[in-house]
Chains A and B, each alone.
Chain A
Amino acid sequence: MAGTWVYVDHFKGTALPASYEAIAAAKALGSPVTALIFGQGVDALAQSAFHYGADAVLLGEDASLADYRAEAYASLLSKLAKEQQPDAVLFPTSSRAREIAAMVAIDLDTGVLVDVTEISQEGEGFVATHPIYAGKLLSKVTVAAKPALVTLRGRAFGKPVADASRSGTVTKVAAAVAEGDLQTKVVDYATVEGRVSLADAAVIVSGGRGVANNPALTPPAEITDEKEKEIWRAQQGFSMIGELAQALNGAVGASRAAVDAGYIPYANQVGQTGKVVSPDLYIALGISGAIQHLAGMRTSKVIVAVNKDPDAPIFKLARFGVVGDLYEIVPALTKAFKERLSK
C-alpha cells in the first residue's frame, strides 16, 4: 500500500498526543493513511489511530518490541517500507522517532526533514519548513528520494479531532530482528519525579532566576549553607508557581539560570539548550528574556511576563506585561484564576 504512513510514538502503550497530530497532518495531505504501531500489548492504540483518521494499521507486536529499542524499531520500519513503498513516513518529533527516522534514512538511502512546522506536497515530493538556529531562521527543505521521512513539531499542526465511529483494518506484522541479534537490552526504567511533558502542554508557567528572591521564608534550621538556603527558598517559589500552573492545568517550565542554580531539574528547562515549546499560553515569571530563552518559547500564542525590571527584554514579546514582584503577583493570580475557572 502506498500513501502516507504515520509512526505512532508511544511510551509503554500511551501515545504521544503529537502522534495523533501527525495522523491528522497526514490525512490533510490527501492520500490514504497507514498508522504504524510497534510494541507489545498495544493493540488498543490501533483504535485511537482510526479515530484520528488512519485508514489502516500495521501492528508490529512481539516480545522483542516490548521495550523501545532503536535498532529493533528502525529495522522493522525499514523492512515494511521496502516491501510496501510508502510516499512518506511522518513522525512526531520525539527523541525516539527522531532516532528511528535517522536510521531508516540510512537503510533506505533517503533523507529526513526534522522538526518541521509546515508541510505540503509539491508534485512528487514534499516541501517542509524547518526552523534552524533556534528558530531565528526558517529553512525550506525537500527530500529528493522516497519515502520522505519527516518529523513534525508538536502542536505546530493543530489539535486533531477524534471521530469514534471510524474504524479500519489491522494487519499484524512480525518483528524484523530476532531478540538474539539485537545489540542492546533495556535493564531498568525509572520515572522521574515530577516529570513534565512540556512539549504537549497547552499552558506553561515558567520561573527564572527571579524566583531566588523569595522574601519571607526561613529555611529549616538544619540548612546552614547559604547556597542551600537560596535553593530551598527558590524551591518554595517553584511550588508556588506549580500551584498557578495547576490552576491552569499547565506545566512548569524554567530558564536555564534557574536550572543551573539547582532550583529545578533540567527536564523543566525551556530554551535553545532545553525544550522548544509552543503552548497557547506562556507565563514568564522573573525571566529576563535572553535570546536563548526566547528561542524556546517565542512561538507561544500568548506570552505574559511578570518582572521587576521594566526594561526586561521579555516585555517586547509579551502580549501582557506586569512590572512587579512575582512573589506578590503569582499568589493573587492563582486566586483570580481559581475563582474564574471555578476550580
Chain B
Amino acid sequence: MKIAVFVKQVPDSAAKLSVENGTVNWGDAPLVINPWDEYAVEAALQLAEKHNGEVAAISLGAEDAKEALKHALAMGANSATLISDPALATADAAAAAKVFAAAVQKLGGVDLVIFGKQAIDSDTGLAAAMTARVLGWPVLSLVASIAALDAGTIKLERAIEEGRQVVESKLPAVLSIVKDFAEPRYPSFMGIRKASKAEVPLWSLADLGLSAPESKVRWSEISAPPAREVSSEMVTGASADEIAAKLADLIIAEGVL
C-alpha cells in the first residue's frame, strides 16, 4: 500500500497578521505544519502500519516548507519531497492541484492520496477534490474512520454536516481527513533525530514534466477587516436574577431575537 500525504507550512494560528505592500506579514510568529494536516499524516501512518504500507509526505512551497515535511518525517513518514518552483508563487488551488496530481503520478503506484481538511492560511479546502478530479480518481472527503481497506477498495465513514455517511469506493482514491479520525501522535525523539538528518529532495515543475499551470483566480488586494467598533457594556446587579433580567431586556432591545 503506497500512500501520499500532502502537508503545508503555515503561520501559527495565533500570529498577528498585517498587510504590507499587498503581502501578508506575520512578524516573528513561527511557521508550523498546518494543524489539519497532522490528522492527515496520522491517518496515513495508521493505514500504513495496518496494511504494510509506506508513506510519502509531499509539500508545495518555499524552502521553509521543509519544516512541515520534517514534522511528517518525525511522526513516522518514510520519505519527504518538496515541490518548489518560483513559477508557482501565485498558483491558485486548481493550479496547485495539477502540480499535486503530477507529483502523485511521478511517485507512481500510489493507492491513496491523503489531505487535511483545509489549510488555515488560505482557508479554501479545495485541494483534495481538485486533485482527485485531475487524477480522475474518486474523492472521499471529511473521513472520520476507515472500516475496511484492501488492494482494490476502501470502506469508510464520512463526518458530513448531517451525520455519518458510510461509503465504499474503488482505489486509487483521494481522501481528506477530519479531526474525529485520531489525535495526531507526537514526533518521537528518534523520529526527530531521523528527520533532522533526512535529505528532502526538491522537485521543480520541469521535474514533474509541467509548464506553469495558469491560475484563474486572481488576488487583487489583501486588507485588514474594518476594526469592529463595539461599545461594550458590563451588566451588574445585586443578584443573578437582577443581572439576568437586565441582560435579557438589553438583548431584546438590540432587536436580534
B206 within 8 A of A: no
State the Cβ distance, A11 to closest chain B Cβ, in Å. 5
Which chain A residues (260-279) contact chain B, with CB distance < 8 Å?
266-267, 272-273
Partner-contacting stretch, out of A38-46, A53-61, A319-327: A319-327
**In the complex, which residues of chain B have a beta carbon less than 8 angstroms from the beta carbon of A138?**
222-225
B151 interfacial by beta-carbon distance below 8 Å? no
B165, B218, B250: the one contacting A186 at CB < 8 Å is B165
Max chain A C-beta neighbours (<10 A), residue from B167, B231, B252: B167
Residues of B within 8 A of A303 (CB): 230
Distance of A254 Cα from B151 Cα, bound (Å):
40
Contacts of A319 in B (CB 8 A): 230-233, 254
CB distance from B256 to the nearest CB of A (A): 4
Binary per-residue interface labels of chain B (215-244) against chain A in the complex, 1 for a CB within 8 Å, 0 otherwise: 111111111110010111111100011011
- Tell me how far the C-beta of A210 lies from the nearest C-beta in chain B, rounded to whole angstroms: 15
Number of interface residues of B (CB under 8 A): 80
A-B contact count (CB 8 A): 255
Q: Is A246 in the interface zone, CB < 8 Å from B?
A: no
Q: Would A183 and B173 count as touching, CB distance under 8 A? A: yes
Cβ contact within 8 Å between B234 and A321: yes
Please, which residues of chain B bring their CB within 8 A of the CB of A190?
A: 163-164, 166
Q: Are B240 and A133 in contact (CB under 8 A)?
A: no
A199 to B160 alpha-carbon distance, docked (Å): 13
Report which of A95, A106, A134, A292 forms a contact with B130, defined as CB distance below 8 A: A106
Provided the pairs A203-B257, A332-B243 are in contact, do residues A132 and B121 lie with their beta carbons within 8 angstroms? Answer: yes
A316 and B230 alpha carbons, distance in the complex (Å): 8
Minimum C-beta distance from A202 to chain B (A) = 8
Supply 19 A–B pairs (Cβ within 8 Å), ascending by A.
Answer: A105-B94, A106-B130, A109-B216, A114-B124, A132-B121, A137-B223, A141-B217, A141-B219, A143-B216, A183-B173, A187-B155, A189-B165, A190-B166, A202-B256, A272-B120, A281-B256, A304-B247, A322-B234, A336-B244
Q: A137-B225, A197-B161 are in contact. List 11 more A-B contacts (CB 8 A).
A: A70-B139, A102-B128, A109-B94, A110-B94, A133-B120, A138-B225, A143-B216, A186-B165, A191-B163, A199-B161, A335-B241
